[in-house]
Structure 1
């Protein structure tokens, strides 16, 4: 009924116009309505295959039609010793070839927290899996530490035990680590243990179909609610000649080492090795999280041949049954499939059986293959394309299925069908036209308008376990957001790029890899490169942070870094982990028109917080806050006189600083302790939870209003000497009731405040002692007895609000020490109005408590310079938030880079939330 009301294309177009979140919810509703399971998104790929060490290089190999088969390398075994063209020769093999990986003996155990001695006993297949799974998680943007403790499942296919055979050649070397090192179950369990994954952890051995069965089990685990994220794949290494000799006795191998799937010359397969994994999660969750999606899994099925003509003989009926079951579970017609990545081993017996099963199930009507009616949007008018990745890299046995699936996922992502190699003349036992099948012989666009195409992947174990997985192209998420992203790229002139490693050498090596990546993929945007590096990888103690405007500049800076030249960036050698950070909140005198305006225009969190503050302040201010902060945008008046009236200065600074703090915290920068200078302490107290935002704004607005209503007059001045000399000067003129110390900003930086005549008299006396001074441009004498008339009314306001114990430590202006329960009293905040700001003593307390990494949360770095003067040289790491004259976003990125250098843990997911990867 639903289909009859709206054509499928119309439905798809309407879905495409929805937001990602709404589209995800609709997808769930439609799946439930049909009684189908939710599609599963492939969000990450990790792989090492012959001739390819990553998904990107594997794609290049496939699209260029590379044959990665070579002769057996001497480090594996002496081929001359084991080769004999006679298949019956005892202990010999008649195939000299294979698809091999390099450097399988190399492994960095310390990276994974494994003792070097234990690592020597771990099967290289397990070690390779660890590396590839880590890379797959990075590709997915899933930081392993953030998945720690989660219901992440691990499903791994593995069949061979060559390393155990090698160890048993010398029984005397067997020790504590041998059993765990070679046991197949540890291929999955060790990963779950090291990364602290709590979901199912299974090793699968169904021979050649192992890894595709692992994918099937991973999907079932997600559908059953056992796993929230799953990793599935397989591994295969050829470390001894034993299996190859055995396969030679079966005459299963191609003497010339080439897999010629579906060709009349097919004469067997060639062995290959490698490892591949995919990272998967429910499609709705992937859409909401804005994960990159290669393709989606619509369904899968596994079955068994049962009793056949022989244990290893294929069974066409069973193959047809597994296909039917997979497409039923996917909820699609087999006739909608456009491509199948076959098991395709290149045998005269196996290839026709597989082709017949495919043709019978997919049921294309024989047609003129050159008809003008053929199109990708009407697949039933075209023969189904088939191919086999074994023609490129050999038969990876336990990892064969995952290699096939990764090939299809990459093809769907890049919208291109890829050639199957070594196909010259069709196998005469396969009626291709009747079956409506064709072998994909060349690169071909695989485009679609609205509905992404369907593809299948088959894998059959030689013990009779068959698997088939149904894939579909990913919803085209980039079209809906590309304009916004392009505009974002133009607006954000600077991008933050980070790298990290566990050693300095590894950091340089990683830098070189990125240089090569940029050179090999000129179409990659700077934003995407930075997102991949920042969000998609774990962060270690050796760090590099660069602020760049183009990929060329990034490449230049990385080249300098790898050559150990001076760079315009931040480099950390073994930085501390999660350092304790201090937020310093600036006081009056730092304000200026337009402070934070660029952040207001470009950072949604900052803007939303400013707007929230403005809404709350409507009840307390005569002029709207936004008119005062950003008159160029919200009013015709650009005069700064309003902002400099204390009735507006104080709430404006509060709103700006609180919004900056929220932005820092949104990015993952959390303070361990907070401290403010005068007005800044109200923001500090709100951030710490003493006041709610509403109460904090009410309090600062009433404080400012009451001060503004006081008679103008009085003066404030900075005198550059110590507290004792100033106190003696005040006492000498017997004017302690008319002038007093308002702030102790450093060992020789004192602010005095009071009646004009008394202040001038003190200045004159100090001038005679060669003490320099500077009069401050203020409307009132703050932090002096002249504030006394407002205290009673202010106390009344304080009585109307709730105060709560701080959730973050606060250094008190009033005492210069860690705040105690007194900060929850009305008396404290009244004293705060009248008493001097003990900034110097507060900085000393920070130093004594071991804090040295300070972020000034304010419109200009006023406190950082004073803070450095309070402490021994080099004991304060000062990081500003904003700096007049420098673009806000650039300063924030520079400061974030500095924090990263010093070991801060950044929430890169949130940092990049409004700029997802294409």
Structure 2
């Protein structure tokens, strides 16, 4: 069987494969003349694949990349159908559909509908398929917009080449495909309202066909006259009506066109505001049709449906984390300093008046807004603190970030930085930190203090600053010799791997970048030497800044011990262009969250791309409506250049060079320059005289 049309279905597991086989046999039993196409999971057993291939004309394997992508495989399978461009039209059936009679006549009907989401009619296109794939990859099958009020259920552009019902389809054979649906829940239809042809007529429009009890007509021209953006205004009216649960009245409507019979549709025109409530149970959906009939003959139609009620699932932290994050970070950006200032101002004003939770505000602003190079950030405990910081320019962290994200070097502090109660607040309020910490094992050992104290006394006598590290191990000394054999036995039981994702490892013991090509191997012997031998941190940090090109350092530890050493070692390093910046994770005697969020803010200002979605993955936050980007509106006016002395006549103007044999002239006439034109007036309008055209010719 061949042809431009086909049936299609999906099967993502064995149960669906059985249903797909039943569907295929049902279509065959009623003598379908169209090919049967299946998109199936590559994980199906071989014997199931053989059955499917024997029953379907074409079996397409779902690409394995979708299985672990976070995208619903059913969605990915339906997206793949758009790549089946050898067919002009595909009707996709759910494998749950039971065939009880011949169905091929559906292909003849342009207005085919279904009572649920079991049927989808598409016109395959490789371009559309690629766009959908990109969309799914970027959003991982989820909703990434700040807040969706509606969803486009279908759209169509057409020319008036046939009766009206050929132009306004219920929802099949559209340009990008549309889930067909029974539209008996249609509540509002938005039109211009100029001509009776625009009004839904029961006998002419396939949209109603007796399935619609009543429609509410929103005839836009009675509220706003013709305009360039009128089509968008109609769409915006529908969105706002759904958002505010009210249909606006027609203030300027007085007399109905006698050619329109509302009772025969049936329909009504609201003269007062009407409630349009969402169904609390979510079983019925508000749907609106938006149509635009252009004077040039192009007609545009769209069906808009409200979005489903989104239940923002939050993790139950009751048993795992005692308190949520006590501090919040708010990041803002702009394309220039003026835009950034305006953004800061509007968020300050928003915080002063809103009752929204600060966590939701910060989550939406950080995750849901574009990140431009002119950046600012503030950290605070509550809304009041953020307002005060936004009022004071000195309390706002701001910087112009580089165009490329910088390299980050992580400094691992090691011994000497620990103290009682370190990172306790993070442990109590962050599930990721708590889980990681609980998995760690602590190993204790002893060492002599006699030589250390003697060395400290020597330094004091020679005016050398010292600091005794409160270490529990005598690392990098002969005191570790008794445990080296036991330590080696443990180290040899570990499986070592090379650094991934282009990560460069710099050894503090070797004082250089670890590369096997230079004879440095990270194995059991390396870690034994690392435990016993001295540290060459000065050489290692200079290697990072010089050869590694790193100037941004983030110290991972309870106290930034290595940061000061890194700053000192940066003196005299050749080739450094940018200043060296060292940032702590947390500090002793400083609030954990305030410190770590301030560091996150400075990383953001430095141009680091923060994954805000993962940053808030265990926080009870959701997206809300916050101020949008403050566009810097500018007026653009086309200025006609001065034609200069090249005019050959006040009316003819200046010659214009062109590639043809035709002589062209351009001119700009102003009444001040050609006062004789003021005499040629009809009514109160100056009219260019016909004799002037004769002169021009």
Q: Structures share a fold, TM > 0.5?
A: yes
- Deviation at residue 832 of structure 1 after TM alignment: 1.3
Tell me the equivalent position of 1:796: 489
Q: Cα–Cα, structure 1 residues 800 and 412, in superposed 2: closer, same or farther, change >3 Å?
A: same
Distance (Å, rounded) in 2 between the aligned partners of 1:838 and 1:282: 45
| Mapping for residues 628-667 of structure 1, pairs under 5 Å | 648=442
2:685 is the alignment partner of 1:858: no
- Deviation at residue 606 of structure 1 after TM alignment: 3.5
2:341 is the alignment partner of 1:508: yes
Q: Cα–Cα, structure 1 residues 506 and 835, in superposed 2: closer, same or farther, change >3 Å?
A: same
| Mapping for residues 195-344 of structure 1, pairs under 5 Å | 225-228=129-132, 287=142, 292-306=147-161, 315-318=163-166, 322-323=169-170, 330-342=179-191, 344=192
Q: Say how many residue pairs are matched.
A: 494
Q: Cα–Cα, structure 1 residues 446 and 860, in superposed 2: closer, same or farther, change >3 Å?
A: farther
Distance (Å, rounded) in 2 between the aligned partners of 1:297 and 1:283: 19
| Mapping for residues 447-466 of structure 1, pairs under 5 Å | 447=277, 448-449=279-280, 450-451=282-283, 452-466=285-299
Distance (Å, rounded) in 2 between the aligned partners of 1:834 and 1:495: 43
**Residue in structure 1 matching 2:505, options 779, 804, 810:** 810
Q: Is the 8 A contact 2:418 2:470 kept in 1?
A: no
Structure of greater relative contact order (alpha carbons < 8 Å, 6+ residues apart): 1
**Residue in structure 1 matching 2:581, options 852, 877, 890:** 877
- Deviation at residue 359 of structure 1 after TM alignment: 8.0
Tell me the equivalent position of 2:374: 542
- Deviation at residue 901 of structure 1 after TM alignment: 1.5
2:87 is the alignment partner of 1:388: no
Distance (Å, rounded) in 1 between the aligned partners of 2:607 and 2:593: 21
Q: Cα–Cα, structure 1 residues 493 and 805, in superposed 2: closer, same or farther, change >3 Å?
A: closer
| Mapping for residues 266-665 of structure 1, pairs under 5 Å | 287=142, 292-306=147-161, 315-318=163-166, 322-323=169-170, 330-342=179-191, 344-347=192-195, 349-351=196-198, 353-354=199-200, 361-362=207-208, 380=213, 383-396=214-227, 400-447=230-277, 448-449=279-280, 450-451=282-283, 452-478=285-311, 491-515=324-348, 522=354, 524-551=356-383, 553-558=385-390, 560=391, 566-573=393-400, 575=402, 577-610=404-437, 614=439, 625=441, 648=442
- Deviation at residue 856 of structure 1 after TM alignment: 0.8
Q: Is the 8 A contact 2:507 2:514 kept in 1?
A: yes
**Runs of at least 5 residues in structure 1 that lack an aligned partner in the other structure:** 1-25, 36-150, 154-215, 231-279, 308-314, 366-378, 618-624, 626-647, 649-703, 716-755
What's the secondary structure of 1:412's corresponding residue?
A: helix
| Mapping for residues 54-133 of structure 1, pairs under 5 Å | none
What's the secondary structure of 1:580's corresponding residue?
A: coil
Q: Is the 8 A contact 1:453 1:472 kept in 2?
A: yes
Tell me the equivalent position of 2:531: 833
- Deviation at residue 893 of structure 1 after TM alignment: 1.4
Cα deviation per residue 1:617-665 (whole Å; 9 max; x = unaligned)? 6xxxxxxx5xxxxxxxxxxxxxxxxxxxxxx2xxxxxxxxxxxxxxxxx
Q: Is the 8 A contact 2:555 2:584 kept in 1?
A: yes
Cα deviation per residue 1:440-487 (whole Å; 9 max; x = unaligned)? 3343332222222222222334454444322221111146669999x9
Q: Cα–Cα, structure 1 residues 340 and 533, in superposed 2: closer, same or farther, change >3 Å?
A: same
Instruction: Give the superposed CA RMSD.
Output: 4.5
What's the secondary structure of 2:236's corresponding residue?
A: helix
Q: Cα–Cα, structure 1 residues 760 and 538, in superposed 2: closer, same or farther, change >3 Å?
A: closer
Distance (Å, rounded) in 2 between the aligned partners of 1:282 and 1:393: 41
2:592 is the alignment partner of 1:894: no
Question: TM-score if structure 1 supplies the norm length?
Answer: 0.47
Q: Is the 8 A contact 1:500 1:543 kept in 2?
A: yes
**Residue in structure 2 matching 1:905, options 609, 621, 633:** 609
Cα deviation per residue 1:198-247 (whole Å; 9 max; x = unaligned)? xxxxxxxxxxxxxxxxxx999976995242279xxxxxxxxxxxxxxxxx
Q: Is the 8 A contact 2:563 2:582 kept in 1?
A: yes
- Deviation at residue 354 of structure 1 after TM alignment: 3.9
- Deviation at residue 860 of structure 1 after TM alignment: 2.1
Distance (Å, rounded) in 2 between the aligned partners of 1:573 and 1:429: 63
Q: Cα–Cα, structure 1 residues 600 and 552, in superposed 2: closer, same or farther, change >3 Å?
A: closer
- Deviation at residue 894 of structure 1 after TM alignment: 0.9
Q: Cα–Cα, structure 1 residues 775 and 591, in superposed 2: closer, same or farther, change >3 Å?
A: closer
Q: Is the 8 A contact 1:317 1:357 kept in 2?
A: no
Q: Is the 8 A contact 1:586 1:863 kept in 2?
A: yes
Q: Is the 8 A contact 2:215 2:268 kept in 1?
A: yes
Distance (Å, rounded) in 2 between the aligned partners of 1:810 and 1:597: 29
Bigger mean CA deviation after superposition, 322-331 or 902-911 = 322-331
What's the secondary structure of 1:477's corresponding residue?
A: coil
Cα deviation per residue 1:134-190 (whole Å; 9 max; x = unaligned)? xxxxxxxxxxxxxxxxx9x9xxxxxxxxxxxxxxxxxxxxxxxxxxxxxxxxxxxxx
Distance (Å, rounded) in 2 between the aligned partners of 1:470 and 1:804: 55
What's the secondary structure of 1:793's corresponding residue?
A: helix
Q: Cα–Cα, structure 1 residues 484 and 806, in superposed 2: closer, same or farther, change >3 Å?
A: closer
- Deviation at residue 548 of structure 1 after TM alignment: 3.7
Q: Is the 8 A contact 1:334 1:363 kept in 2?
A: no
Distance (Å, rounded) in 2 between the aligned partners of 1:829 and 1:281: 44
Q: Cα–Cα, structure 1 residues 803 and 483, in superposed 2: closer, same or farther, change >3 Å?
A: closer
Cα deviation per residue 1:741-795 (whole Å; 9 max; x = unaligned)? xxxxxxxxxxxxxxx3x55555555555455656555555332112112222222
Distance (Å, rounded) in 2 between the aligned partners of 1:800 and 1:324: 64
Q: Cα–Cα, structure 1 residues 542 and 787, in superposed 2: closer, same or farther, change >3 Å?
A: same
Distance (Å, rounded) in 2 between the aligned partners of 1:590 and 1:469: 63
- Deviation at residue 543 of structure 1 after TM alignment: 1.3
Question: TM-score if structure 2 supplies the norm length?
Answer: 0.60
Distance (Å, rounded) in 1 between the aligned partners of 2:160 and 2:338: 52
Q: Is the 8 A contact 2:222 2:250 kept in 1?
A: yes
Distance (Å, rounded) in 1 between the aligned partners of 2:206 and 2:474: 92
Q: Is the 8 A contact 1:498 1:545 kept in 2?
A: yes
Tell me the equivalent position of 2:52: none
